[in-house]
Amino acid sequence: MLFLWFMVSMLFAGECQWEAAQFYQSQQDKDLVVSGQGDLIGQQNQFSFNKPIDILTGNYQIKAAQGSFNILSKKLVAEGLEINTAKFIIQAKKALVVVSTLKGHLQDVIYLQKKTKTQIEAKAKKVIWNGEQLTLLEAIYSECPRHQRSWEIYAKSIEIDHKKSHLHFTAPGLRLYGHDLGSMDGKLSMSMKGNGASGWLFPKWKINSRLGFGVGIPYYIVSSKTMDLTITPEVYSKVSFGLTSKIRWLDGEFYWTGVLYAYPFDQTELVSGRYAYSLTMKSHPKSKLSLNVQLSRVFDRDWTRDFSEINRDNQFFIPSYLEASENMPSTQWQFLLRKYQFLNHSVGEKMYAFNQLPYIKIDHQLSDRFSVNFSYGFFYPVGFFSDGVKEGARLRGAINYHHPGDVDIQLSAKALSFLQDQVSPKQLVAPAMNLKWKHEGMHVELDWVGYQDQTGLPIYVDTHQVDEFLKPKWFDDRIPDRSDLTFGVISKWRDFVIDLSSRFAFSQHRICIDPGCKVDWLASHHMLPLIVSINKKDPQVFSFISELIYEKPYVNQIHFVYEKQISPMNFQLKYNWQARSYSLVKEKLISGASALSLGIKMDLNQGWTMGLSPEYTYDGRNKIGYVAELYHQDCCSKFGVIIALKPQIYDQALGFSHRPELSFSYQLGV
């Protein structure tokens, strides 16, 4: 027994030279094991060594190049010390530690911690070690490797708490790319795992078209394990002050966020202070019940002109909503309450949205072949609209039968009912049938709907959200009566799939929102158009769809998509064109409505990424927009600049809304 050998050596009070690896295990603490070569001085209970030894105690592995270890007090005096755990590594030139209590003082220390994507490194002249808590004196902290050190924090002291995964800096300063940006008094706290610690956070920079350049220093408060608060005072170059207060809390499976924005000294012609708030709630992504809440409000009509903090559909409409949904094996349902705050500006044209109070949708699978769907909505208009746009309710439903096979058969009975201005409801019921057949590159499709007169029925479409001619949404307010017979041939040539098809209308189409019903030439003339579709998939995507007719202007619509990656650039080109499109806003036909967009993304050298996305839309007005992005990301920081001008808000008639939006971000860590 090695321990008995130690005791005998101590009784003889002599010295013994170890020639081979020796082991020591304490009887009081059986987890303590020392291995190595050295001298045992019996009278002093001292084990001195000049070759590396290992000490194992609990989850800690301690290595020392040379020094002495007291067997009774478990005190280690060493040079070239390394403390290794699953959470961190400490390297010190000199150290005095008590192994049994995991406490001590270290000099000239390097602290290392491995994260998912980065490695935390800190240097300090002195360190006070107390188990999983460390205090680094006159220290430098960074998450960048030494050859890519874009930033580092220096501080009078850094407290590291591995139990709570918190960092506390005393009198911290920041060096960015080797330049000292100055220091601050007090304490700065941050988290190593995302669960914060109370204290000052890194400053934030802003550029505002009205207030100028601004700087804010957030103060972070942890009130409980499920709630925190961030208060950010801001100072701007145009002698203004702002305050942002953000609270977050977790309630079971629901995550809440509340934000209050205040600019009390910013005055306009109508208000002497600028205020806004937002409240959001989201359910857990894995929850069976999906629940989303957003409540937003601003207290002056010019808010969206000067600030971008509050979510909006455009400069005029700020939505608030409650949406709940659930997807079960045989049933899917959705419940929606949506209300807009309309910022009253004179834009010289119709622009309106519909509050939905409420909207309910249910889809249920009765059996393998039978299903039913149902939706109900009450709509209340807000904005600038004509007398014909009124509040009302819409009920829509259908019973469907599906028989798959060589001939795919779908039969439906569709119902539509409207109640508007407390007038007797208008109810429609129409049968529908869809047959599909495919065989060796040929396909035939029959689509038939029994016609019902739907003249004068309302249309509940938000005119501000979409380009109408590209994404028509008014079909929910109608039972389409499109009855067509389509013949097509599919062939392959190299990497391309070519589909040539022709559609014949065997009954006149009378359902359209154009009072003259001139949009669909197929409806009026029973034309036999030729539809050309060309597609190509990886390694590049190419899609082209066109509808040609035998009457001027010969081409009715074109849809074109081309996407390709040429290292280091990826670009996507989209073009849509329709010969004629009816505008709900202008209540007239638009000739040559079109949209063109180009998306370019380039991965440059050394972590730089650049993106450019210009857009052009014509729907009776020329609207131009773009998004320009520049990002840089490495292992320990992320920098970004975005300049955006959205085409749906670029219009001389809208006055102020042509201003571009500029955002700047810099993030330490990733």
In this predicted model, what pLDDT tens digit does every residue of 98-114 receive, in sequence order?
Answer: 988 889 999 999 998 86
Peptide bond just before 539 cis, omega within 30 deg: yes
Predicted local confidence at residue 633, as pLDDT: 76
CA dihedral 545, 550, 551, 552 (to 10 degrees): 50
Predicted local confidence at residue 15, as pLDDT: 39
> Considering only CA atoms, which of 371, 430, 374, 446 is closest in space to residue 402?
371
Predicted local confidence at residue 192, as pLDDT: 64
Predicted local confidence at residue 306, as pLDDT: 81
The Cα-based distances of 132 to 60, 101, 102, 106, 140 in angstroms read 10, 11, 9, 15, 19
Which regions of the chain are under pLDDT 50?
Answer: 1-22, 27, 116, 466-468, 470, 519, 521-523, 525-526, 648-658, 670
CA dihedral 551, 507, 592, 594 (to 10 degrees): -130
Q: Is 184 exposed, middle or buried (0-12, 13-18, 19+ CB in 10 A)?
A: middle
pTM for this one? 0.70
In angstroms, the CA 131 to CA 99 distance is 10
For CA atoms 379, 380, 381, 387, the dihedral sign is positive
Helix, strand, or coil (residue 654)? helix
CB count within 10 Å of CB 317 equals 20
The Cα-based distances of 597 to 487, 558, 562, 576, 626 in angstroms read 32, 14, 11, 9, 9
Predicted local confidence at residue 5, as pLDDT: 35
- How many residues does the structure list for the chain? 670
366 forms bridges with which residues in the sheet?
none
The amino acid sitting at 24 is Y
* Contact status, residue 352 vs residue 387, Cβ threshold 8 Å: no
Predicted local confidence at residue 332, as pLDDT: 94
Predicted local confidence at residue 651, as pLDDT: 45
pLDDT in tens, 454-469: 777 788 877 765 444 5
The amino acid sitting at 385 is F
Mean model confidence pLDDT for the chain: 79
In angstroms, the CA 292 to CA 279 distance is 11
The Cα-based distances of 10 to 3, 71, 97, 113, 629 in angstroms read 11, 11, 24, 42, 75
* Contact status, residue 164 vs residue 141, Cβ threshold 8 Å: no
* Contact status, residue 34 vs residue 12, Cβ threshold 8 Å: no
In angstroms, the CA 551 to CA 525 distance is 10
CB count within 10 Å of CB 182 equals 7
Which pair of structure tokens corresponds to residue 39? 């001298």
In angstroms, the CA 498 to CA 430 distance is 35
Which pair of structure tokens corresponds to residue 635? 């292992």
